[in-house]
Amino acid sequence: MNGAESLVHTLITSGIDTCFANPGTSEMHFVAALDRIPGIRCVLCLDESVVSGAADAYWRMSDKPAATLLHCGPGLANALSNLHNAQRARSGIVNIVGDQATYHRPLDAPLTADTEGWARPVSGFVRTAGTAARVGADAAAAITAAHTYPGQIATLILPADTAWTDGGTPAQAAAAAAATQATQAEISQAARILRSGEPTLLLLGGHSLRAAPLQDAARITQATGAQMLAETSNARVARGQGRVPIGRVPYPVDHAVHTLKDFKHIILVGAVRPVGFFAYPGKPGYLFPPDCTIHVLTRPDQDGPAALAALARELNAPPVSLPSPGPQPSPAKGAISPEAFAQSLAALIPEQCVIVDEAITFGRGFFPGTYAAPAHDWIALTGGAIGDGLPMATGAAIGAPGRRVIDLQADGSAMYSLAALWTQAREKLDVTTIIFSNRKYAILLGELAQVGANPGPTALNMLDLSNPDINWCQLANSLGVPAARATTMDEFNELLTQSTNHAGPFVIELMT
């Protein structure tokens, strides 16, 4: 058994059954091993940003790591921006990066790069396999690292000779250490603050945004008069009918500061203290007022859901009837607007669908308009590195089979990872991509306005995606995905309904 075969056996016995792959020459023995040893579904992606974004969303929907297969330092480099997003989502991923043979690396062949150096900033675990005999144990350690609560990126670099040399020994990943729990003292302290009557916010992140812990959070806030919010960008939120509606800290700094201005206490549950995405002259970096005290109930690496349950018990908070989001609305008609769009979404999305949110500017107000939608999960761009929506939709569909994925997709961001559409077509994934075709970097026009200058042609040219207009229907078709254009809400409603009633991918170009 060679090292590559021991790696495949180790992945399989450790519970990994999916590999998002963009292979190259140095990975041919690994490809051959995946071919010989059944048990892993290999999903070909035509660029590595698709690989990493898909693996991220696969984790978010399945709570299991996928493997990735990447080719040398530059292949890893192409994956980095979506690995950055995955790291901010605290997703578990096992990267396998094929690389130069150990004895060939000193010769500095053209594809030689600093693979470890590029991996380190996004990885909780980086190791280069040194011998074929060690590949199994190294892979097992990587898988354990990926499972470390709440999830980590683990990067195993596989020099070609460690893959092809005999002496491979499969291993099984050890169980990752369980999440640490909040102490009774921490729970009592949170209870004291909540009972104080002072304006208090429960700020939730990570697993606390699943359905059950949201119910506990609602019990707590209803019993104490506190409020609750999710962080601005979240890996996954349980939403819709039968779930507790929860808002987000707004993205624009002024809105966020306004939202948080009256709180005297913020209790963090798997969240971090709220900061602006960027600094602006004369605006604060922290979004909460100076006299607001931050308390940590659980850090992101601690068990937030258990702490919420314990806190609800400590407060003797009675079970809650869910606040009604009102009746499910009818689809909006007429002209396209963000509000009309949210209304149609709430009316038409299928039960248990997965929403992928890279809507950027157009989508800032979607949350309130969709509380009354059928039950769904909402996964969003977490690290601000745009180009993640199409890849995440691809991985979510594989991680949550049987559930329709609806990708709310800004056009500028979509241009980074078009190859994802091809993988959706090849794998016949149930993904509806809705391109908000406004033909500009709308977010940046807003930012430029804040700079104060009256933009001239050079600036406008750098923020404008028209000239030429991108024909998204043609583009999707060219990659094997059927598509149609909607210029009114009525047309959109019909296309969305059609696409969710048919298997396979579809693209709707929404002319906004």
Q: How many residues bind a copy of itself (CB under 8 A)?
A: 103
Q: How far is the CB of 85 from a copy of itself (least distance, A)?
A: 8
CA distance 160 to 165: 9
Going residue by residue from 444 to 473, which x/- string records binding to a copy of itself, judged by CB under 8 A?
x--xx-xx-x-xxxxx-xxxxx-xxxxxxx
Q: How far is the CB of 357 from a copy of itself (least distance, A)?
A: 14
CA distance 53 to 386: 11
Taking CB under 8 A as the rule, does residue 474 contact a copy of itself?
yes
Q: Three-class SS string for 52-89?
A: HHHHHHHHHHHCCCEEEEEEHHHHHHHHHHHHHHHHHH
| Interface with a copy of itself in residues 313-372 (CB under 8 A) | none
Q: How far is the CB of 40 from a copy of itself (least distance, A)?
A: 8
| Interface with a copy of itself in residues 173-212 (CB under 8 A) | none
Question: Which of the stretches 17-25, 205-213, 257-265, 337-345 binds a copy of itself when contact is defined by CB under 8 A?
Answer: 17-25
| Interface with a copy of itself in residues 248-287 (CB under 8 A) | 272, 275-279, 281, 285-286
What b/e readout covers 350-363, taking b as 16+ CB neighbours within 10 angstroms?
beebbbbbbbbbbb
Residue among 353 and 443 whose Cβ is closer to a copy of itself: 443
Residue among 43 and 347 whose Cβ is closer to a copy of itself: 43
CA distance 349 to 60: 20
Taking CB under 8 A as the rule, does residue 503 contact a copy of itself?
no
| Interface with a copy of itself in residues 382-411 (CB under 8 A) | 382-385, 387
506 neighbors 494 (Cβ within 8 angstroms): no
CA distance 414 to 436: 10
Residue among 216 and 231 whose Cβ is closer to a copy of itself: 231
User: Virtual CA dihedral for 155, 160, 164, 170, nearest 10 degrees?
Assistant: -10
Q: How far is the CB of 241 from a copy of itself (least distance, A)?
A: 30
Question: Which of the stretches 117-125, 128-136, 202-210, 365-373 binds a copy of itself when contact is defined by CB under 8 A?
Answer: 117-125
Q: How far is the CB of 465 from a copy of itself (least distance, A)?
A: 7
Among 49, 162, 200, 512, binds a copy of itself (CB under 8 A): 49
Among 222, 480, 484, 497, binds a copy of itself (CB under 8 A): 480
Q: How far is the CB of 411 from a copy of itself (least distance, A)?
A: 10
Of residues 318, 312, 297, the one with CA closest to residue 204: 297
Residue among 216 and 407 whose Cβ is closer to a copy of itself: 407
Residue among 175 and 453 whose Cβ is closer to a copy of itself: 453
Taking CB under 8 A as the rule, does residue 133 contact a copy of itself?
no
- Give, in degrees to the nearest 5, the angle at Cα 369 between 367 and 372: 100
Question: Which of the stretches 96-104, 143-151, 215-223, 334-342 binds a copy of itself when contact is defined by CB under 8 A?
Answer: 96-104
Residue among 202 and 507 whose Cβ is closer to a copy of itself: 507
Beta partners for residue 434, in sequence order:
408, 508
Among 10, 81, 234, 370, binds a copy of itself (CB under 8 A): 81
Residue type, 154: A
Beta partners for residue 431, in sequence order:
405
Of residues 219, 231, 235, 294, the one with CA closest to residue 259: 231
Of residues 426, 365, 429, 366, the one with CA closest to residue 392: 429
Token reading at 181 = 């729990």
- Give, in degrees to the nearest 5, the angle at Cα 373 between 246 and 214: 30
Taking CB under 8 A as the rule, does residue 114 contact a copy of itself?
yes
Question: Which of the stretches 102-110, 142-150, 432-440, 494-502 binds a copy of itself when contact is defined by CB under 8 A?
Answer: 102-110
Taking CB under 8 A as the rule, does residue 70 contact a copy of itself?
no
Among 172, 337, 477, 488, binds a copy of itself (CB under 8 A): 477
Label the pairing between strands 93-99 and 41-44.
unpaired
Q: How far is the CB of 455 from a copy of itself (least distance, A)?
A: 6
Cβ neighbors of 473 (< 8 A, separation 6 or more) are 483, 484, 485, 507, 509
Work out the angle between the directed axes of helices 419-426 and 389-399 (0-180°, nearest 10).
20
Taking CB under 8 A as the rule, does residue 32 contact a copy of itself?
yes
Residue type, 128: T
Question: Which of the stretches 305-313, 342-350, 412-420, 429-437 binds a copy of itself when contact is defined by CB under 8 A?
Answer: 412-420
CA distance 31 to 23: 8
Q: How far is the CB of 393 from a copy of itself (least distance, A)?
A: 17
CA atoms within 13 A on the CB side of 439: 11
